[in-house]
Amino acid sequence: MIAIDMDGTLLGLDGQVSPRNLAALRAAEAAGIEVVVATGRRHSYAMRVLRPLGLHHANALVSSNGAVTRTIGSANTTSTLLDRALLPHATSAWLLNHLSGVGDHNLRNALVLTFDRVGPDGEDTRGALVVEHLDELHSSIGRWMQANEPYIAHIDPLEGALVNDDASPEAPIQMMLCGTIARMARAEARLLEHPNIAASGHQPVHSGAPPQTVLSSEVGSRTSSGPMGSHHLTLHRTEYPDRDLSILDILPAGCSKGAALLRLAERRGLHASQILAIGDNWNDVPMLEIAGRAVLMANAPDDLKAHAATRNWHIGPSHDLDGVAAAIESTLETTLTAAY
């Protein structure tokens, strides 16, 4: 299995998959390797790019940083839901209230709620994304807001978007905070002060603690209900220094790309040592940690490359130089050499 991040990894500067990268994906499939895209994007937004590639319909797409796993499907085959984690109502309501008093400003101004509302055609409906305030989000992720306008519902207050039923598929799968790197660093530090919020795959900012990876594969614990004291959340950070943009994804406990891949590998009868993982950012660390071979793109943040050196991960070419193709070609060559 080859697990590949999208933005900053599989996609080039133009937001598309290059001919060389696509040829490498197809060569891997021809060699009997499942190509799994593992992204922070939600399923529908990822499929905008993946749908035209013609990858095998049974290949899995891990979306929303591990909260949802589906097959990608095809024009003639609908995608199949394999795994999904939901934020229980009590946890979601607590978190919205908590964010009102965290940081130097009301963080709800920078918040997006995400729901898994994928229809049979693979598209979302309006309300898949819910925001309370538009202005600040337009200033930080304006292009994303424009591209996703058909799916965004404006609900004030956000509590109006929550369904008081933990078993309902209408519960959110994640909350996303967006802003400058400095502001999100302050927000992350404040959020991690709460004992029920854990950093996934990266060293918490302003902390001397060693990096940690949340890899819980206990599905039941991810949808439990009860008082806030019994709920836990996982925090992922993705940074784009050239845009002064940081995204904090808040997901159900134990959700990560790594945890989702472990469950998928078990479903496929594979061991984690049989996974090649390729990524470029902090939210990729959980899958890089569990993989038998890990490749970090040269365009990764400098502090992540320093972390990679401590893990003996390979540093490959950047995403604009077909780093994914280089990693896959090298892996296929090594595999064929070993076979003969």
pLDDT value, residue 105:
58
Q: With contact defined as beta carbons under 8 Å apart, do 308 and 301 qualify?
A: no
Which residue is associated with the tokens 């400058």?
180
**Architecture of the domain defined by 2-84+257-339:** 3-Layer(aba) Sandwich (3.40)
Output the CA torsion 285→288→290→294 (10° steps).
Answer: -160
Residues 6 or more apart in contact with residue 187 via CB below 8 angstroms: 102, 103, 107, 177, 179, 248
What per-residue confidence (pLDDT) applies to 214? 34
Q: What is the pLDDT along the chain (340 residues), one digit of tens a residue?
A: 999 999 999 999 999 999 999 999 999 999 999 999 999 999 999 999 999 999 999 999 999 999 999 999 887 778 899 999 998 888 898 889 888 876 555 788 899 999 999 887 778 889 999 999 888 888 889 888 998 999 999 999 999 998 765 555 578 999 999 999 998 998 898 888 888 898 876 444 433 333 333 333 332 233 333 333 444 899 999 888 888 999 999 999 889 999 999 999 999 999 999 999 999 999 999 999 999 999 999 999 999 999 999 999 999 999 999 999 999 999 999 875 554 4
Fold of 89-252: 3.30.1240
**Which sequence spans correspond to the domains of the chain?**
2-84+257-339, 89-252
| 308: enclosing H helix or E strand | helix 302-311
pLDDT of residue 103: 56
Question: pTM (2 decimals)?
Answer: 0.86
Predicted pLDDT of residue 41: 94
Residue by residue, what is the 3-state secondary structure of 16-85?
Answer: CECHHHHHHHHHHHHCCCCEEEECCCCHHHHHHHHHHHCCCCCCEEEEHHHCEEEECCCCCCCCCEEEEC
pLDDT of residue 212: 36
